[in-house]
Amino acid sequence: MDSVVACTEEPYRLLFVDNASSDGTVPYLQERFGRDAVLSNSSNEASSGRRTGARVGQRAVRLLLNNDTAVTPRWLSALRGAAERSPEFGIVGGKIVGPDGRVQVAGLTWPSTARPA
């Protein structure tokens, strides 16, 4: 989240979904970003936590990030630009680089009419 705050130049809203952590994450996030920025699940709901965040977010464009994501300058405008240039895509994703520096994913698109299996 530090990289999101440091590297995002355009307006955005953060919404955190906590899956029953016991390490003080919820109070920390609430203090730093406000009570309305944190949804707290009573159990670890894994992927349903992402669905919860997507469902509650009230924007036409939603971006899901894992807690270990580190972004780089202009990351959000690049993803938004890719989505706006190609309205047939319902999902776009950026390049994912692992901790060792190797590229894991070079970017992705998912047609808006496709249904996951």
In a domain? residue 54:
yes
Look at the chain and report how many structural domains it folds into.
Answer: 1
Residue 116 included in any domain: no
Who's near 28: CB < 8 A, 6+ residues apart?
Answer: none
For 101, the domain range is: 2-111
Contacts 24+ apart (CB under 8 A), 46-55: 46/19, 49/17, 49/19, 50/17, 52/17, 53/15, 53/16, 53/17
Q: Does residue 53 belong to any structural domain of this protein?
A: yes
Please check whether residue 117 lies inside any domain of the structure.
no
pLDDT for the residue 47: 62
Q: Is the full-model pTM beyond 0.85? A: no
Question: Is 29 a domain residue?
Answer: yes
- Per-residue pLDDT of 60-76, as tens digits, reads 667 778 778 889 999 98
Assess if residue 21 is contained within a domain.
yes
